[in-house]
Chain A
């Protein structure tokens, strides 16, 4: 018994220790943060912990809330709900000038009425530092960003890249605990951006302060970060190292957003056995249960392509082949209608018959977030149901009283999209398109503020306005 107690005590100590370590190690903590613009939640229960000295990138498409999150940390906006702490201090309502952070703005935001020196010295002068110290620090900061001897220049006379360097110098000269960067390289050309990325990484190393970096460029995120936070629609989708995020995307959104990928519908037959594209494959994932519908992700560089042979798991015809610099990018169509993107150093011309092979650990299996559309609705009478703000005809329902709340289920492929908005019962706009090898999986944002998911073979563009119809026999009503 005493041995047990000791072991428990030790374990308890370890847990407490770990907790304290984590807390003291954590420089920014964002807990249950919500931000509303009117009714719309731009940030929806965001939780984020940033360790001291880390390079964290918040990555996501435009409008995903990443900039809002950064602005909440900087203090330019305040959270509707939740708590933000920096360096152990709760600062949710603290005005920006009292926060130990500095920001590098997307459009530089240099003061046009001040020269380079005075721009950089702005923060130091506010702290009433002696002018000798200020001069020394400004010189140091300028050296750090490679802009020595530019002190007296007018900021308007500098190029975009130089202005960005001054903006960085202006922020780091204050020695903040955290440096926030809001898409700082977005306005620079590719070559310049690559150079600045390397310099930022160097700077992060030599300064040793925490960087929180916002970008929509996944390559930039992979290059720079220790940790990537992938966001979409106000929610954090995944947090992890660049390797984790790239190799083990948690859902199809992340897989599609980070790098190129083949995403297909599959069925997990049993542990380590998955079927997709009409074949069964060996894989390394387990714990999904039997015959569970899943999403399968295969990176195009993980597919081996060769002349048809015994070793081929799949065969197909190359439909297009594009030279991409280092590799060739080929689209391969299998006889049963699935399309794969393959990247390889060897070129197979369009029309060539090829064999494909995927190794078990290169098949990434992800749980499906949903297998059909589900809405809260209300039965109007035995043949009509109301959901998404409209009344739909449905098959005759028995055993449920009118006016009772019900769950409505519709399969993805049963939602029909119309070119003409007037032809649809509902209207909406295509918001997110995912190619699933032999069909498209669309997210359509209806004008009643709810998403409806659609499987279709037709090609739609992001932002297309559509009408939506659903046949009565395809509406399933479940007692809720």
Chain B
């Protein structure tokens, strides 16, 4: 009996069982429920009414498009701000002890709600109006580290002799960047884009707090519907968002190719 137990325990793949059980109950089941709710009405009969409602409802579509627009703006701003930061950090010249990296990455570990509430307080204190500008600021502020870190990671791992090879072949510093460093850091860039774009599409807490509930994002719409007991419609909206995120991931995986160097983990 004990032998059997220890044999069971020794097999490494059995160690995954607790997580698999957790996954099944808290991830797979809810996903299946979302799909189930999305394709049924309140009585539980199969229907496409929820999706028809979304298609026919200009307000919902508008929010959807607006959310994607905000997400794209946030992602681009993060990229524009984050790339130079990552580039500077990756040069050991500026960053001898990795302390700077820690300072840049540290906000990632502070709870998003706390950071957002702090931003609200700061805007209040400075008498800045809350609204679209504040929303984008809050999003960029919250998600910037997720852009910096993957890019920093790829730049850090890049073989410095590649840069030297480009210089050697006659590339000036600008050409070295455009023709070597940037293309080689693409895995990090796509990884960063995915890591910023995905959560910004689905966020609602930041929008709620930083716009005093004046601007609705898609995440807010989902939340409102669920809160108001419209589970089926809310589930359909969630499903649409999930598909969008899934497409983004697929797209980024494809351009990533075989190299997964850009990952945060």
Contacts and interface: CB of A to CB of B under 8 A. Distances in A.
A127 B170 contact: yes
Contact of B161 (A75, A101, A107, A122): A107
Chain B interface extent, by class: 10 to 19
A107 B167 contact: no
Contact of B168 (A103, A106, A113, A127): A103
A106 B161 CA distance: 9
Contact of A95 (B161, B165, B167, B180): B167
B170 A123 contact: yes
A110 B161 CA distance: 9
A109 interface: yes
A61 B56 CA distance: 77
Contacts of B166: 111, 122
A158 to B, nearest CB: 15
Nearest to A122: B169
B171 A126 contact: yes
Given A113-B184, A122-B179, A96 B167 contact: yes
Contacts of A76: 164, 167-168
Interface in B112-129: none
A86 to B, nearest CB: 13
Interface residues of A, number: 24
Main secondary structure of the interface of A (DSSP, over half): loop
Main secondary structure of the interface of B (DSSP, over half): helix
Nearest to A96: B167
A297 interface: no
A170 B172 CA distance: 17
Contacts of A106: 161
Interface string A108-152: 011111000000001100110000000000000000000000000
B162 interface: yes
Contacts of B95: none
Contacts of B159: 107, 109
Contact of A103 (B164, B172, B179, B186): B164
A105 B167 CA distance: 13
Interface of B: 159, 161-162, 164-172, 175, 179-180, 183-184, 186
Given A95-B167, A96-B168, A111-B162, 10 more contacts: A74-B168, A76-B168, A97-B167, A97-B171, A101-B168, A102-B168, A105-B164, A109-B159, A109-B162, A126-B179
